Structure 1
Amino acid sequence: MFGFTQGCLPLRRWDELNSFFQKSGAKIVFGLNAMNGRVQLPDGSMGGPWDYTNAASLIQYTAYKGYHIHGWELGNELSGSGVGTRIGADQYAADVITLKTIVDDIYRSNPSKSLVLAPGGFFDPAWFTELIVKTKPNLLNVITHHIYNLGPGRDTNLIEKILNPSVLDGMISIFSNLQGILKSAGTSTVAWVGEAGGAYNSGHHLVTDAFVFSFWFLDQLGMSAKYDTKSYCRQSLIGGNYGLLNTTTFQPNPDYYSALLWHRLMGTKVLATTFNGTNKIRAYAHCARDSPGITLLLINLSGNTKTEVSVTAHAAAAAAAGAHKHVARTGYTTAQVSVTNQAAGGGGGGGEHKHGARRHGRNFGHAHTPSFAAVADGATRDEYHLTPKGGDLRSQVVLLNGKALATGADGSIPRLEAVKVDAARPIAVAPYSIVFARISHFHAPACS
């Protein structure tokens, strides 16, 4: 595949594609060929300046026709040691500056100027640092990286990896290090996950297209948001075994509904969250989207332990409660989530992207939020419980509050309806389940 050079995108086909883009309402990022003009260097990498002639012609035509492309990305997986081949950070940075100059010149008077994105590759600290240093403060709008942290799709241990908190936590260092690079450089560049399929080489049927993969996917969304990632691009909508839609029937796979609930319930302000209990529970909190209060995401990686979760506004309260307390019944725990008095760090540089998550930079102050036991009589919260059909993690049918989700005869998406729960009761998280809890009575000043 790396040696293929005979492809051609006629302008007539580009016109047809842009008509489709407009009808879909999707935001389009187009990857440009970064290999034109290169020569192979003695160390095996590719060098020499990028021949931008063809790319500039396409961008010029696109702007002339009034087509809106959200962003232009230079190349694919050329960073660090690369995939197939690589380009040194010094040369690549010069090429990014060339692309930014082209975009600025062509879109000079256009209010909807496209973003410039790069490198669309795997994170390498030294390589990414050099790229950022040489393109700061504003010559690169978005730095993109790819995530396939579960290894090859053929791995027979994928489910065990997905259910392992240590494997999931392995991504923390990458998100944290990238944010550290951006903050240290004083750049306006923001971070996106430009491609993430979890398991490379098309994933694994009945794993990456089944219920179990929502544990990985939603944990990724929560973790990336915590570290100020502005957008998260899932591989793929349709294609391979990790698509959000079935490649034959186009019916939504479980991750489609997980993504839709995230989009509808989780706002763009991320709250600092601490879970005081078993490491099999993953907990994330955001200001609620388009409603008062907060939304809490809880993921239970345990197949035999039900956990009841209470929420407090003060970190001190959670610490005072001690570790999670086991009660008399086997396979049952109680725990606390502490949504602390400050948001999850300061906002990153640059503007907010609607499909990404933005951390809020203000402190909470002291939010005197009542405990669950002290809320007003009759108060309720909305809960959305996701479980696999028949309790089978490999199921491609997801249940929302016990009811199977399926499209209508006309292809319409089903209503995603919450159950109303007494706000004074803890949140019950069943084994191998995912819960979104929208708590409207939770007062967080950062969400005002």
Structure 2
Amino acid sequence: MGLFIHLFIFVVCFSTTLGKNVEHAELVVDSTVVLAETDENYICATIDWWPHDKCNYNNCPWGFSSAMNLDLNHPLLSKAVEAFKSLRIRVGGSLQDRVKYDMGNLDYTCHPFAKGDGLFGFSEGCLNMSRWDDLNNFFMKTGHKISHREWGGDWNFSNAHDFMNFTISKGYQIDSWEFGNELSGKGIGAFVGAEQYAKDIINLKAILDKLYKNFHPKPLLVAPGGFYEKEWYDKLLEVSGSNVVNVITHHIYNLGPGVDPNIVDKILNPLHLSKVSTTFSSLEQTIKKYGPWASAWVGESGGAYNSGGRHVSDTFVNSFWYLDQLGIAAEYNTKVYCRQTLIGGNYGLLNITTFVPNPDYYSALLWHQLMGKGVLSVESSASPHLRSYAHCSKERAGVTLLLINLSNQTSFKTSVQNTASRIVVTIEEISKRKKTFVHHLKEAVSWIGVKASDVYIYREEYNLTPQNGDIRSKIMLLNGDPLILTSDGDIPSLAPVHVNTSSPLSVDPLSIKFIVLPNFIAPGCK
């Protein structure tokens, strides 16, 4: 019996190996010019207002993650955000339009959100200033850039005015003030017409100019924080006028409701992932035509709406969607991309009870550390299942590639060419001609941009896979090692493997790989 079992396992493994396909592909990176550019702090995460009893589909995944009650003293929370060195945080969410600020002049007692008959089934919520002090102390300690939201609509600005004035008096640094949440177009729960919205934005701009008249630079005015509808967004910019709105924000949940049983299929479907390009392209055209002074941000995106997909949004498979959308958004001049959420819901970067990072946290951190502002064009001969993106490397010379393999059967072997020289990176064909590496290193001087000498030319690889091959695993592997907290409870270092450039560049099925090419000549990145 034992012999039969061992033989069976061998046959199964052998058959699976034979079943895998290998596809050869060529990537051509145009390094001569930057296609688009992101902000230095492209990666952003949100802290929402939802209370612990916010539930969807008989699941209540928010815990104590609200701006009102998040444990700001939890050591892992600080460590997780400090790892970014500078992380943009957006404070706000669906209940933003129901927030009041306790400035000592309210005619009722300040209470947090509670179940009730109001918007989304909750009462108004009140933020007291001692909590605002705590939040800002945390932000300053951990090096955040803060975006905060205000009410949009038939706007009584007195409470917000007092709140902003208090913020200034305490010396709190706010990077941007955003007006409203999901009130554009048909709205979510409530809506405001574009013309009314524009008039209220003009009032807010006047308030910001007055309160911040001695500040340089002034905080950005951001709006509308809703789902993109072309006519509404066009009208908003047209009516509000030149240099009023600094940033146009929109929200994206292109995976549908969190309860959808087909979320994983959507994530692994390249055609579905590419559909969102239409939205990014249309918004880019809206800004060019009606607001060329403004830039585009994704103000909120969690993949699946209604708190995300349970046992999906907090697992490895979600990084296929997340990193792919970061890549697409950047190609359309999106300056900032805010992930819903830092913590809270099923889509949080951190677990709501333990604060331990989920796989997407490490994906975000790797992007933040490796991908620079300059976006480069990539042409690929591969099937659509291999998603490819290229950026100038961050704070160093060279180029960084992001390759995402959505196929569960096909492994891709790729060569990378540079339009500046058309020299093949992997030097795979050169090896076949049986010439020495050093000899062909000298031939490749125009690609690597260094003196031809007997030096070790390498690339850095960050290969991301799920633990035990389970794409719904909550443990991500980096170059085969699990990304878990150190024995001291610290965020693990994200170290690459150094691979000789003469080695073939391959991407296994259902894996993600960042590749840093430090010697790649990129005139457009200078």
TM-score normalised to the size of structure 1? 0.82
- Counterpart for residue 141 of structure 2: 23
Moved more, 280-289 or 62-71: 62-71
Matched, 1:68 2:173: yes
Matched, 1:197 2:302: yes
Output one character per residue of 1:178-223: Cα deviation in whole Å (capped at 9) or x when no partner.
1111112252111000000000011122211000000000001111
Matched, 1:282 2:382: no
Unaligned 5+ runs, structure 2: 1-117, 424-444
Matches for 1:40-189 after TM superposition, within 5 Å: 49-189=154-294
- In 2, are the aligned partners of 1:313 and 1:368 still within 8 Å (CA)? no
**How far does residue 59 in structure 1 lie from its aligned partner after superposition?**
0.8
- Counterpart for residue 339 of structure 1: none
- In 2, are the aligned partners of 1:136 and 1:189 still within 8 Å (CA)? no
Unaligned 5+ runs, structure 1: 36-48, 319-366
Matched, 1:257 2:362: yes
Matched, 1:313 2:386: no
Matches for 1:284-299 after TM superposition, within 5 Å: 284-299=389-404
SS in 2 for 1:215: helix
- Separation of aligned partners in 2, 1:431 and 1:413: 27
- Counterpart for residue 315 of structure 2: 210
Output one character per residue of 1:153-202: Cα deviation in whole Å (capped at 9) or x when no partner.
00011000000011100110111111111112252111000000000011
Matches for 1:235-246 after TM superposition, within 5 Å: 235-246=340-351
SS in 1 for 2:326: helix
- Separation of aligned partners in 2, 1:287 and 1:430: 24
- Counterpart for residue 131 of structure 2: 13
- Separation of aligned partners in 2, 1:379 and 1:300: 26
- Separation of aligned partners in 2, 1:110 and 1:138: 17
SS in 2 for 1:203: coil
CA spacing shift, 1:260–1:120, aligned 2, 3 Å: same
**How far does residue 17 in structure 1 lie from its aligned partner after superposition?**
2.2
SS in 1 for 2:204: helix
- Counterpart for residue 428 of structure 2: none
Matched, 1:440 2:518: yes
- Number of residue pairs matched? 385
Output one character per residue of 1:284-303: Cα deviation in whole Å (capped at 9) or x when no partner.
00000112110000000001
CA spacing shift, 1:283–1:198, aligned 2, 3 Å: same
- Counterpart for residue 342 of structure 1: none
- Separation of aligned partners in 1, 2:310 and 2:448: 46
Matched, 1:414 2:492: yes
- Separation of aligned partners in 2, 1:172 and 1:132: 22
SS in 2 for 1:240: coil
Give % identity: 51
Partner amino acid for 1:382?
E
Partner amino acid for 2:402?
L
- In 1, are the aligned partners of 2:420 and 2:521 still within 8 Å (CA)? no
SS in 1 for 2:183: coil
Partner amino acid for 1:9?
L
**How far does residue 305 in structure 1 lie from its aligned partner after superposition?**
0.7
Partner amino acid for 2:245?
L
- Counterpart for residue 354 of structure 1: none
Partner amino acid for 1:11?
M
- Separation of aligned partners in 1, 2:165 and 2:448: 58
Output one character per residue of 1:381-414: Cα deviation in whole Å (capped at 9) or x when no partner.
0000000000000000000000111112332111
TM-score normalised to the size of structure 2? 0.70
Partner amino acid for 1:25?
G
**How far does residue 126 in structure 1 lie from its aligned partner after superposition?**
0.5
- In 2, are the aligned partners of 1:298 and 1:434 still within 8 Å (CA)? yes
SS in 2 for 1:99: helix
SS in 2 for 1:130: helix
Partner amino acid for 1:117?
V
Partner amino acid for 2:149?
G
SS in 2 for 1:214: helix
- Separation of aligned partners in 2, 1:388 and 1:65: 45
**How far does residue 20 in structure 1 lie from its aligned partner after superposition?**
2.0
- Separation of aligned partners in 2, 1:140 and 1:72: 10
Output one character per residue of 1:233-290: Cα deviation in whole Å (capped at 9) or x when no partner.
0000110100001111111100000111101110000001111111100000000011
Q: Select which of 371, 374, 383 maps to 1:269.
A: 374
Task: Give the ranges of 4+ consecutive aligned residues of structure 1 lying more than 4 Å apart after TM superposition.
Answer: 315-318, 374-377
- Counterpart for residue 425 of structure 1: 503
SS in 2 for 1:27: strand
- Separation of aligned partners in 1, 2:180 and 2:419: 46
**How far does residue 28 in structure 1 lie from its aligned partner after superposition?**
1.5
- In 2, are the aligned partners of 1:68 and 1:112 still within 8 Å (CA)? no
SS in 2 for 1:200: coil
SS in 2 for 1:151: coil
- Counterpart for residue 472 of structure 2: 394
Matched, 1:230 2:335: yes
- Counterpart for residue 336 of structure 1: none
- Separation of aligned partners in 2, 1:132 and 1:155: 35
Output one character per residue of 1:293-337: Cα deviation in whole Å (capped at 9) or x when no partner.
10000000001111011111139969xxxxxxxxxxxxxxxxxxx
Moved more, 89-98 or 403-412: 403-412
Aligned-residue RMSD, C-alpha: 2.0
- Counterpart for residue 32 of structure 2: none
SS in 2 for 1:79: coil
- Separation of aligned partners in 1, 2:394 and 2:143: 21
Q: Larger radius of gyration, structure 1 or 2?
A: 2
Matched, 1:33 2:111: no
**How far does residue 376 in structure 1 lie from its aligned partner after superposition?**
7.3
**How far does residue 60 in structure 1 lie from its aligned partner after superposition?**
1.1
